[in-house]
Structure 1
């Protein structure tokens, strides 16, 4: 089943997107999920999932020339013995080298996916790898943790 379009682009979200997110959020068996547009730009689909805890593995899945969205279950230690925290981070990855049509559809479709993913704590927007490096994301996620 495909969830109906709820964005200005009219691009629907495949129901597997929400199913995989719930596995990440509730079962904790996944570390991240990569979402993207199908080849015809007509649907948001799951491109990949992983249980790898290596942040670099996650970053390698963000292509240099194609938009993606992702969720990452970030685990970090709060400063001064504040304990371990987990936050689900939503990424909007739209590199400058992406084709214009792909960037436009990605921009207008993001909210359709984002609204379905209840429990996301922080959102990161990236157009190059420096904006999604671990330290940058950790700094943003740890505020108010």
Structure 2
């Protein structure tokens, strides 16, 4: 189901900077106030994973990309770009429905995503949970 929501060009520009130049560690996207397009909510170039998770609102939905860095035994450091759909239990139903129906509008435009994570509570976006997904897709 498509909601007809567009994607602001800044969303794609900032994603390319994260992906190509490693200019940002994460980018959080939201629906504009008029609910007609997806826009950049916030971005950071110097944040650890806990800072990223803390930036997700506890009572509203968001999309996000995070440049996830981890180490594998005998293989060294690795990076994977993760796409997050944050839809906390406390978010309004209307918001959850709109974000769910608009996800493909942005997801299909972000080329190079390695992992997709859906989170409804903090345990689903915990570092260990994402690390397990990242290492599972590395094999």
Aligned to 1:78: 72
With structure 2 as the length reference, what TM-score do the two structures score?
0.96
Aligned to 1:112: 105
User: After TM superposition, where is structure 1 displaced by more than 3 Å over at least 4 residues in a row?
Assistant: none
Number of equivalent positions: 138
Deviation at 1:122, TM superposition (A): 0.4
Whether the 8 Å CA contact 1:41–1:102 is kept in 2: the answer is no
CA distance in 2, matches of 1:106, 1:137: 21
Deviation at 1:83, TM superposition (A): 1.6
User: What do you get for the CA RMSD once the two structures are aligned?
Assistant: 1.0
* Residue in structure 1 matching 2:21, options 18, 22, 27: 27
With structure 1 as the length reference, what TM-score do the two structures score?
0.92
Deviation at 1:126, TM superposition (A): 0.2
* Residue in structure 2 matching 1:135, options 117, 128, 135: 128
Structure 1: which 5+ runs fail to align? 1-6
Aligned to 1:61: 55
Deviation at 1:144, TM superposition (A): 3.2
Q: Which stretch of structure 1 is more off in the superposition, 84-93 or 51-60?
A: 51-60
Does 2:115 correspond to 1:90? no
Deviation at 1:121, TM superposition (A): 0.2
Q: Secondary structure at the match of 2:29?
A: strand
* Residue in structure 1 matching 2:119, options 101, 122, 126: 126
Alignment deviations for residues 100-130 of structure 1 (CA, whole Å, 9 cap, x no partner):
2111110000011000000000000000011
